Chains A and B, each alone.
Chain A
Amino acid sequence: MTTAPHTEQARGRVAAVGPTPAAAPDDVIRTSGLTKRFQGGQLAVDGLDLTVPRGSVFGFLGPNGSGKTTTIRMLMGLIAPSSGVATVLGAPMPQSVGAVLPRVGALIEGPALYGFLSGRDNLARFDAADPTSDPRTRARRVTEALDRVGLTAAAGKKARAYSLGMKQRLGLASALLQPRELLVLDEPTNGLDPQGMREIRALVREVAAEGTTVFLSSHLLDEIEQVCTHAAVMSKGRLVVQGTVAELAGRAQGRLVVRTPDVAAARDVLVQHRVTDLRTDEARLDGLATAVDEESLPRLCAALVSAGVRVHGFGVERGTLEDAFVALTGEGFDVAG
């Protein structure tokens, strides 16, 4: 993963510059048995045990309706859990909202703005809501936040005239009005074009490099793979798995696929080359490609050919988080009923 060095770098900087990094608890978010049952009896989140380490870019993954947003709302003290405990930055939520949330920036379920105010005035309004923010530095911080998300040119425009992408950026800007320890981003690239998505991902990496832990929910698997160091997968209100992205993707390792009518002969060659977990079909066989790298791959192909195997197709199909998800849940990545 390309993002791993960022995290290491971030940790290093925290240790070097921060006054008391050792005193801070290592987990930014920790929940145990977190459960939310809504009044209608619907179980939205069911016994969630989630651990988000400090300095990580944590991907919170699951189909629409799997309980991600409800979890985030509980973490942010907007709704009270039916049972279980949620701890954010070492303090229980929602009891410690006043002490914890000034250190947290959040984008929850899309941006929400005052349409009759300019982008700049919207940020000033949200900043005024935080009693720990200094009114004397407000104008400067608002300008910096606008600049950071690339909205300087549109700062004076009424928010109702913004496109969805611009609204999303303004929402991000309000999360970045202060230096934050934790950034919670719920589907931050929703409604953005590919260029906008790339910019948001770059911003997430930049913020993470400064030492901010990022908790990013998404239903886009490749988004998580691209920016996250850690991930958790939700399905129907339950946590399916959590760990580093490398671990999770590793669960769905790439498989070597050979298409040939000579299955038996091919099988012998593959076994000699230490390809394990072989599965054979009528004109196809595949196996775990752990021992196969880019150099040995052509040799393996040559070996098959020289053994008289008529190779119709040959290649490695890469494992993805999606494979891992399907393997873990035994279902597709669709909207949960």
Chain B
Amino acid sequence: MSQAEVSPAEVSRTEVSRTEASAAVGAGPRRQTAAGFAALFRSELWLTFRRTRTIALLGILAVLPVLIGVVVRIETGDSSNGGGPAFIAQVSQNGLFLVFTALALALPIFLPMTVGVVAGDSIAGEAATGTLRYLLVAPAGRTRLLAAKFTAGLVFCLAATMAVVVAAVATGAALFPLGEVTLLSGDTIGLGAAVVRAVLVAGVVALSLSGLVAIGLFISTLTGSGIAAMATTVGLVITVQILDTFPQLHAIQPFLFTHQWLSFGDLLRQPMHWDNVLQNLGLQALYVAVFGSAAWARFTSRDITA
């Protein structure tokens, strides 16, 4: 209201107030700025982590290593018999191994489930509540909105992985001895070097989920129901992992996005085996390219009637 009534003298005082005053009466269009462009990405991150749901998912992921740690601690005598999940035998010798055990347990089910919820809901959830139409008339720009959603999805992957890692380190340090780490290849490295490996592994695990983010985003552009998109994405993860266990399907298995997920164990050898890890990351990049393009093609051409 007030800007339309600014007197000419006040208008000429600064450039900013002149632009605003002329816009008030409907003259010049405003320019897009870098800060303005980036604002949606920041807003998207802020929105993701403001949701109670996100915090609850991260909480569940953080409880997992605590549970494993406690179980191993109670059953220490039997854990060295070679059964159970990967790396679990090493946990009682060195608490840091709880990180790898927890990641190996979380990666097939819990991590993709949380990522499926966040990625699947990204566009469909906004469509279901109607906020999508207000974002688009703001105008967010469909490509920019999709990019912001994808970025927030990737950051969530990292946050989810870190939730597991941090809880595992804390639990491991509390319940088990720390110290020199004996790798899977039998070599021994110092604690500092082992922590670097743990960070590296966490990064690889987070990136392993990027293909799933793209798939979830694509599914999210297909429907106006957040629940349907989440359920489909999580269902797909489970289906793909079942397919990965059929020996008859070994020809297509290298192309399943879950196939090389557990290859991060190769980084716990001396020297590190990068072949499968790189193959995994390459495959994730392929999935991001294919499903990212599909999501873009679908979203930029779709009628928004919700």
Contacts and interface: CB of A to CB of B under 8 A. Distances in A.
B30 A129 contact: no
Interface of A: 13-14, 17-21, 24, 73, 76-80, 97-99, 101-104, 106, 108-110, 112-117, 121, 124-136, 148, 171, 174, 178-182, 206, 210-213
B35 to A, nearest CB: 5
A131 B1 contact: no
Given A114-B129, A213-B26, 7 more contacts: A17-B21, A78-B133, A78-B305, A98-B32, A128-B40, A129-B134, A136-B35
A12 to B, nearest CB: 11
Contacts of B52: 116
A204 to B, nearest CB: 13
A124 B138 contact: no
Looking at B26, B40, B135, B136, the one whose CB has the most chain A CB atoms below 10 A away is: B26
A83 to B, nearest CB: 15
A197 B21 CA distance: 29
B39 A135 contact: yes
A19 B29 contact: no
A211 B29 CA distance: 15
Nearest to B32: A131
B137 A76 contact: yes
Given A79-B304, A79-B305, A179-B24, A131 B141 contact: yes
Given A18-B27, A19-B22, A112-B130, A106 B39 contact: no
Interface of B: 1, 3-4, 20-33, 35-37, 39-40, 42-43, 47, 50-52, 129-131, 133-141, 144-145, 301, 303-305
B138 A126 contact: yes
- 10 nearest A-B residue pairs (beta carbon): A112-B130, A129-B138, A181-B26, A128-B43, A101-B139, A179-B24, A79-B303, A129-B140, A132-B30, A128-B39
B4 A99 contact: no
A97 B141 contact: yes
A20 B39 CA distance: 31
A130 B36 contact: yes
Nearest to B5: A210
Contact of A112 (B24, B37, B42, B131): B131
13 contacts: A13-B4, A73-B305, A78-B303, A98-B32, A98-B139, A102-B29, A109-B133, A131-B40, A134-B33, A171-B134, A179-B26, A210-B1, A210-B25
A132 B33 contact: yes
A250 B277 CA distance: 78
B25 A17 contact: yes
B32 to A, nearest CB: 4
A211 B26 CA distance: 7
Looking at B134, B137, B138, the one whose CB has the most chain A CB atoms below 10 A away is: B137
B96 to A, nearest CB: 37
Contact of A78 (B27, B32, B42, B137): B137
Looking at A13, A14, A179, the one whose CB has the most chain B CB atoms below 10 A away is: A179
Given A112-B129, A113-B131, A179-B3, A21 B27 contact: yes
Contacts of A109: 130, 133
Contacts of B141: 97-98, 131
B136 A77 contact: yes
Nearest to A125: B43
A131 B4 contact: no
Nearest to B53: A116
A92 B32 CA distance: 19
Nearest to A122: B131
A99 to B, nearest CB: 6
B4 A130 contact: no
Nearest to A23: B27
Contacts of B144: 131
A135 B138 contact: no
B36 A108 contact: no
Given A17-B4, A131-B33, A125 B47 contact: yes
A78 B43 CA distance: 22
Nearest to A209: B4
Contacts of A135: 35-36, 39
Contact of A99 (B24, B29, B36): B29
A116 B46 CA distance: 13
Contacts of B25: 13-14, 17-18, 179, 210-211
A133 B20 CA distance: 11
Given A102-B139, A128-B40, A206 B1 contact: yes
A132 B26 contact: no
Nearest to B41: A128
A148 B138 contact: no
A331 to B, nearest CB: 27
A113 B47 CA distance: 13
A299 B40 CA distance: 70
Contacts of A116: 50-52
Nearest to A177: B138
A134 B137 contact: no
Contact of A134 (B36, B40, B130): B36
B39 A212 contact: no
Nearest to A148: B1
Contact of B22 (A18, A132, A206, A210): A18
Contacts of B26: 14, 18, 24, 103, 179-182, 211-213
A129 B40 contact: yes
A126 B137 CA distance: 9
Contact of A104 (B30, B35, B137, B304): B137
A244 B291 CA distance: 51
B187 to A, nearest CB: 50
B142 to A, nearest CB: 9
Given A79-B305, A128-B39, A128-B42, A19 B50 contact: no
